[in-house]
Amino acid sequence: MNYNHIACCVLLGFALISCNSKKYIKEIPYNFSSDSYVDSANGTKRNVNKQYSNVDDNVEKLSDDELRIKEKYSIIMEVMPKEVTNYKLYSYIDRWIGTPYKKQSLEEKKGVDCSYFVQSLYSDVYGETFQKTPDGIFRSKAIQLFTGRTFLKEGDILFFRYDKTHPISDVGIYLHNDRILACTATGLNIYDFNDEYFQLRYVASGRLKPKN
């Protein structure tokens, strides 16, 4: 075998490829064109933008604080955010949550009596004035009394009895999903209405009568 001949052929072939490498590479048929990939990607992006760019996740045009309230209390009450709509009510409640119980007191974060709180809340949120005592609220001509739990709605006043000498001893407010706002020894907070503590003491509920 003539190795010199083979070597010359190899060198000649390399020289030919080197000299025409630009032309050779240009003429290679690409199976996966980057142009088609870019076009495909841009098309996907356009479709995504078209589908989602006009979606408004704040249709109600709520403030940051209202959005915070909606999210916070939907989680606490285990309901869908769309069920939390009375932002004035929950914003008012939010300021007082965790306030320790103190008889005949209404000092934010320092001490609160639930009947005093309900009187203040109803005046501020619903524009209705009650007496500051549980019995006084119970006897108000502005509310309609009922006992059925299935009728409860957000804002209804709950009446509790703790001892024989005080048939109406305390009040609370129904929210959603059996969650209520009430005072216990641990303070003003949101509790489960199904707890035995409340069930044994529940007397009736009251709802504001429609104003003429």
Concatenating the DSSP letter of every residue in 1-63 gives --HHHHHHHHHHHHHHHHHTHHHHHHTS--SS-HHHHHHHHHHHHHHHHHHHTT--S-TT---
Q: What is the pLDDT of residue 40?
A: 56
Query: 31-44: per-residue pLDDT in tens?
Result: 444 455 455 555 55
Query: 112-125: per-residue pLDDT in tens?
Result: 999 999 999 999 99
Alpha helices, H only, the chain:
3-19, 21-26, 34-52, 64-77, 87-96, 114-121, 134-138, 196-199
Query: 160-202: per-residue pLDDT in tens?
Result: 998 888 899 999 999 999 999 999 998 999 999 999 999 999 9
122 versus 51: the higher-pLDDT residue is 122
Q: What is the pLDDT of residue 62?
A: 84
The model's confidence at residue 12, banded by pLDDT at 50, 70 and 90, is very low
Partner residues linked to 202 by β-bridges? 160
Domain 64-208 classified CATH 3.90.1720.10?
yes
- The C-alpha torsion from 187 through 188 and 191 to 197, rounded to 10°, is 50
Query: 151-171: per-residue pLDDT in tens?
Result: 999 999 999 998 888 899 999
- What's the mean pLDDT in 125-150? 94
**Does pLDDT of 85 surpass 70?**
yes
The model's confidence at residue 10, banded by pLDDT at 50, 70 and 90, is very low
**Amino acid present at 120:** S
What's the pTM value of the predicted model, to 2 decimals? Answer: 0.72
Which range, of 38-42, 85-89, 111-115, 145-149, averages the lowest pLDDT? 38-42
Query: 25-63 burial string, b = 16+ CB within 10 Å, else e?
Result: eeeeeeeeeeeeeeeeeeeeeeeeeeeeeeeeeeeeeee
